[in-house]
Structure 1
Amino acid sequence: MRLSAEQLAQFDRDGYLFFPGHFTPEETARLVEEVPQLYARREAYNVRERGSDAVRTNFAAHLYSAPFARLGRHPRMIEPVQQVLGEPLYMHQYKINGKMAFEGDVWQWHQDYGTWLNDDLMPEPRAMNIAVFLDDVNAFNGPLMFIPGSHRKGVVDAKHDLTTTSYPLWTVDHALITELVARAGGKDGGIVSPTGPAGSMIMFHSCLLHASTSNLSPWNRVSVYLSLCAVSNHIRRHKRPEYIAHRDFTPISCLPDDCLLAETPVELPWRDGMPASALVTSPVELKQVA
Structure 2
Amino acid sequence: MHLSQEQIDDFNEQGWLFLPELFDAGEVALLKREAEAIYAQQRPEVWREKNGAPRTAFAAHTYNEAFRLLGAHPRLIRPVERIFGERLYMHQFKINAKAAFTGEVWQWHQDYGTWKRDDGMPEPKAMNISVFLDEVMPINGPLLLVPRSHLAGDLEATHDVETTSYPLWTLDNETVTRLVAQGGIVAPTGKPGGVLMFHGNLVHGSAGNITPYPRRIVYLTLNAVSNFIRTPTRPSFIAHRDFAPIEPVADDALGRMAQGFQAAAE
Q: TM-score, normalising length from structure 2?
A: 0.96
1:9 aligns with 2:9: yes
Q: 1:35 corresponds to which residue?
A: 35
Q: CA RMSD in A?
A: 0.9
Q: 1:120 corresponds to which residue?
A: 119
Aligned AA (2:3): L
Q: 1:62 corresponds to which residue?
A: 61
The Cα offsets for residues 232-259 of structure 1, whole Å up to 9 and x where unpaired, read as: 1000112100010000000001011111
1:237 aligns with 2:234: no
In 2, Cα distance between equivalents of 1:196 and 1:84 = 23
SS state at 2:216 partner: strand
Q: 1:194 corresponds to which residue?
A: 188
Q: CA deviation at 1:27?
A: 1.1
1:246 aligns with 2:240: yes
In 1, Cα distance between equivalents of 2:41 and 2:52 = 11
In 2, Cα distance between equivalents of 1:24 and 1:147 = 29
1:107 aligns with 2:103: no
Q: 2:210 corresponds to which residue?
A: 216
Q: CA deviation at 1:261?
A: 1.4
The Cα offsets for residues 139-169 of structure 1, whole Å up to 9 and x where unpaired, read as: 1110000000000001000000000000100
State the number of aligned residues: 258
Q: 1:228 corresponds to which residue?
A: 222
In 2, Cα distance between equivalents of 1:242 and 1:41 = 19
The Cα offsets for residues 89-114 of structure 1, whole Å up to 9 and x where unpaired, read as: 00000000000001100000000000
In 2, Cα distance between equivalents of 1:5 and 1:231 = 23
Aligned AA (1:158): A
Q: 2:47 corresponds to which residue?
A: 47
Aligned AA (2:2): R
Q: TM-score, normalising length from structure 1?
A: 0.88
Q: CA deviation at 1:20?
A: 1.3
The Cα offsets for residues 145-203 of structure 1, whole Å up to 9 and x where unpaired, read as: 0000000001000000000000100000110100000011xxxxx00001011111001
Q: CA deviation at 1:263?
A: 2.8
In 1, Cα distance between equivalents of 2:6 and 2:85 = 17
Aligned AA (2:100): A
In 1, Cα distance between equivalents of 2:99 and 2:181 = 31
Aligned AA (1:26): G
Q: CA deviation at 1:2?
A: 1.5
- The gaps in structure 1 that reach 5 residues or longer are 185-189, 265-290
In 1, Cα distance between equivalents of 2:120 and 2:246 = 21
SS state at 1:238 partner: coil
SS state at 1:191 partner: coil
Aligned AA (1:258): D
In 2, Cα distance between equivalents of 1:100 and 1:146 = 20
SS state at 1:34 partner: helix
Higher helix share goes to which structure? 2
In 1, Cα distance between equivalents of 2:25 and 2:188 = 19
Q: How many percent identity over aligned positions? A: 54
In 2, Cα distance between equivalents of 1:21 and 1:167 = 29
In 2, Cα distance between equivalents of 1:141 and 1:2 = 30
